């Protein structure tokens, strides 16, 4: 992994980090031999049964990225073969998310359901060839007959029906004459095959259900395995890139394409993304939404693209991450901190800095005139001079972080304490003269300080140094806001992937809400606007913001443990 560009302040360049990639090598070879006439056409084929997550982003970046790189095309195709779990809401969210990630499918938006007529014809053709039959076994019996990894399966008693009988029965299945689950159309391959997928897999099932696109037209629906390869073929896909679990399905896809004698894409499998600290199973994500553990698919704690977007992730950061992780032939797990590292790298360059106080305590500058307000000049982004500067109002009463003051400072604590001088960022040096305590609770209510008027801008003319610079806002000028601070959705080291009751692994403290203060320059910032809060992290305006109500999500903190780990690994 290259870390040269890390923290160098240069704009993120995805190409820099592009690792060698075995899929690209295969395509290069195919182009050399002219296998597909030098053409590259890929597709991203989601099933519209949930929102996209960061794992999907890996597949999107791969498929669209390769098409872009080779001057080819990438289709967006909904593999919508299961009417019971699919909804238009999901279709719309997927379209929005792929666009947001920065990819364009031109006019090539397709649906597997557009191919239902063609698939039906091909099923009839396979029956005519003697390669498919209508089976009356129940789903349980089909499972029983399938055998085990060590024992071959048993042939269905309906396997040798005549072609005429099969054609007639399949037609009647389509016409809706039989109840759900009473019959299936199966391919006639090999019940003794060591590959389960080849043991006469089901091609069509009876399902009297309305489909989000074809409505009530069909009473039978093709199985995913009978649909996917043929859909790729119809679209003239050259390289059908999918995750490793489909490796065992490849012989079946090959078999269908060969029996039908139609265009045959090359299927290439790569590793699914797994991330520490979260789950990437649509079933589990749906459960979190449905059971109300999160506030929806776009809850900023969700690993969905809509959640990450709302949290403040940029598409660039996600694309950078996807190029950094690369692809391989073995499944592994990627540290969540790598995702955050890519995020910081991008946000560092693009985010204007502002000052906000998450846990405010009042500071009174005793020798500062009551009615004076000065505008302090503050740099918007030290990484990018073109972002200019802004004015931040300074006055007699300020807020600082409660944690930036200690009445009794421990060793190594250099921030504000009685008698100690510190720098207020972009303003003055101040010295603490004492505290005022709440008479009932004994808690510090107010910190009193004096400022040195000769230190405007933060430097003393006599060259004396202070050990610490802290941020602040003016009490009278700052705005109230709600800060939403997120932690991992799951407890560390929980076996959320394995355990059935994965909700037991949820982190009860994954959301903390604070009443906080921020400098007035952010007034009116639209939802999605990103800032770096000095010393605190990256934040973005949440969609719950409204006139008079400002809500910020903490996107990510400033500390980058990954860089440290990487550095120490390099050294050793």
Please state, in angstroms and rounded to a whole number, the distance separating the CA atoms of residues 192 and 482. Answer: 63
With beta carbons less than 8 A apart as the criterion, state whether 431 and 419 touch.
yes
- 322 closest CA partner among 48, 72, 8, 103: 103
Closest separation in Å from C-beta 57 to ligand ATP: 8
Closest separation in Å from C-beta 90 to ligand ATP: 9
203 CB-near residues (< 8 Å, 6+ apart) = 123, 126, 132, 184, 185, 186, 187, 222, 223, 225, 226
With beta carbons less than 8 A apart as the criterion, state whether 101 and 319 touch.
yes
Please state, in angstroms and rounded to a whole number, the distance separating the CA atoms of residues 187 and 256. Answer: 9
Is 396 a catalytic site residue?
no
Closer residue to ligand ATP in complex, CB, 280/473: 280
The contact set with ligand ATP (CB under 6 A) reads 45-47, 55-56, 58-59, 242-243, 272-273, 280, 282
Closer residue to ligand ATP in complex, CB, 42/510: 42
Closest separation in Å from C-beta 244 to ligand ATP: 9
Closer residue to ligand ATP in complex, CB, 205/471: 205
3-state secondary structure 144-191: HHCCCCCCCCCCCCCCCCCHHHHHHHHHHHHHCCCCCCCCEEEECCCC
Catalytic site residue from 282, 309, 324, 517: 282
3-state secondary structure 250-276: HHHHHHHHHHHCCCCCEEEEECCCCEC
470 CB-near residues (< 8 Å, 6+ apart) = 400, 401, 404, 415, 416, 422, 423, 424, 425, 535
Q: Which DSSP string do the residues of 88-129 spell out, in sequence order?
A: HHHHHHHHHHHHHHT---TT-EEEGGGGHHHHHHHHHHHHHT
Catalytic site residue from 43, 47, 353, 421: 47
Catalytic site residue from 24, 35, 159, 272: 272
Instruction: Point out the residue whose Cβ comes nearest to ligand ATP.
Output: 55
Please state, in angstroms and rounded to a whole number, the distance separating the CA atoms of residues 166 and 99. Answer: 45
With beta carbons less than 8 A apart as the criterion, state whether 75 and 235 touch.
yes
Q: Is 216 exposed, middle or buried (0-12, 13-18, 19+ CB in 10 A)?
A: exposed
Is 47 a catalytic site residue?
yes
Closest separation in Å from C-beta 413 to ligand ATP: 44
Is 282 a catalytic site residue?
yes
With beta carbons less than 8 A apart as the criterion, state whether 200 and 161 touch.
no
Within 10 angstroms of residue 259's Cβ, the number of other Cβ atoms is 16
Closest separation in Å from C-beta 236 to ligand ATP: 18
Closer residue to ligand ATP in complex, CB, 45/315: 45
Closest separation in Å from C-beta 479 to ligand ATP: 40
Closest separation in Å from C-beta 243 to ligand ATP: 4
Q: What residues are annotated to the active site?
A: 47, 272, 282
């Amino acid at each position: 992994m290259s870390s040269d560009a890390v923290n160098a302040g240069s704009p993120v360049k995805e190409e820099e980090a592009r690792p060698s990639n075995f899929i690209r090598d295969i395509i290069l070879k195919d182009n050399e031999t002219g296998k597909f006439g030098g053409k590259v056409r890929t597709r991203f084929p989601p099933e519209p049964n949930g929102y996209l997550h960061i794992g999907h982003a890996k597949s999107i970046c791969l498929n669209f990225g390769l098409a872009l790189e080779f001057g080819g095309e990438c289709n967006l195709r909904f593999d919508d073969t299961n009417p019971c779990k699919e909804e238009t809401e999901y279709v719309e969210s997927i379209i929005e998310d792929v666009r947001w990630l920065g990819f364009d499918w031109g006019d090539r938006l397709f649906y597997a359901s557009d191919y239902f007529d063609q698939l039906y014809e091909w099923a009839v053709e396979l029956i005519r060839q003697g390669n498919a039959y209508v089976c009356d076994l129940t789903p349980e019996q089909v499972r029983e007959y399938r055998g085990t990894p060590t024992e071959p399966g048993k042939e269905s008693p309906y396997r040798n029906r005549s072609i005429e009988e099969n054609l007639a029965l399949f037609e009647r299945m389509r016409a809706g004459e039989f109840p759900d689950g009473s019959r299936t159309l199966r391919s006639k391959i090999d019940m003794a095959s060591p590959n389960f997928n080849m043991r006469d897999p089901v091609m069509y099932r009876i399902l009297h259900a309305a489909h989000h696109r074809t409505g009530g037209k069909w009473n039978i629906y093709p199985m995913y395995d009978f649909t996917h390869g043929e859909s790729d073929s119809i679209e003239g896909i050259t390289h059908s890139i999918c995750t490793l679990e489909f490796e065992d399905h490849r012989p079946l896809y090959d078999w269908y394409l060969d029996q039908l004698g139609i265009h045959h894409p090359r299927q290439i499998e790569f590793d699914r993304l797994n991330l520490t600290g979260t789950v990437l199973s649509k079933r589990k994500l749906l459960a979190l939404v449905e059971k109300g553990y999160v506030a929806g698919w776009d809850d900023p704690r969700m690993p969905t693209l809509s959640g990450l977007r709302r949290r403040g992730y940029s598409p660039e950061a996600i694309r950078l991450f996807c190029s950094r992780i690369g692809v391989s032939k073995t499944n592994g797990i990627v540290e969540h901190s790598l995702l955050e590292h890519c995020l910081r790298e991008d946000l560092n360059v693009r985010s204007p800095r502002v000052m906000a106080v998450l846990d405010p305590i009042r500071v009174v500058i005793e020798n500062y005139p009551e009615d004076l307000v000065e505008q302090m000049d503050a740099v918007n982004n030290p990484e990018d001079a073109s972002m200019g500067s802004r004015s931040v109002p300074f006055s007699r009463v300020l807020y600082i972080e409660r944690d930036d003051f200690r009445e009794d400072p421990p060793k190594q604590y250099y921030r504000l304490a009685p008698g100690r001088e510190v720098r207020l960022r972009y303003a003055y040096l101040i010295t603490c003269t004492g505290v005022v305590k709440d008479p009932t609770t004994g808690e510090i209510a107010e910190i009193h300080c004096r400022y040195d008027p000769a230190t405007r801008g933060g430097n003393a003319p006599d060259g004396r140094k202070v050990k610490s610079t802290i941020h602040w806002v003016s009490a009278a000028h700052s705005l109230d806001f709600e800060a939403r601070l997120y932690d991992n959705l799951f407890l560390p080291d929980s076996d959320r992937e394995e355990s059935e009751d994965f909700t037991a692994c949820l982190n009860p403290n994954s959301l903390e809400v604070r009443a906080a203060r921020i400098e007035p320059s952010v007034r009116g910032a639209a939802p999605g606007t990103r800032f770096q809060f000095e010393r605190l992290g990256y934040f973005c305006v949440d969609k719950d913001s409204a006139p008079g109500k400002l809500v910020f999500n903490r996107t990510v903190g400033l500390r980058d443990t990954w860089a440290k780990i990487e550095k120490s690994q390099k050294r050793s």
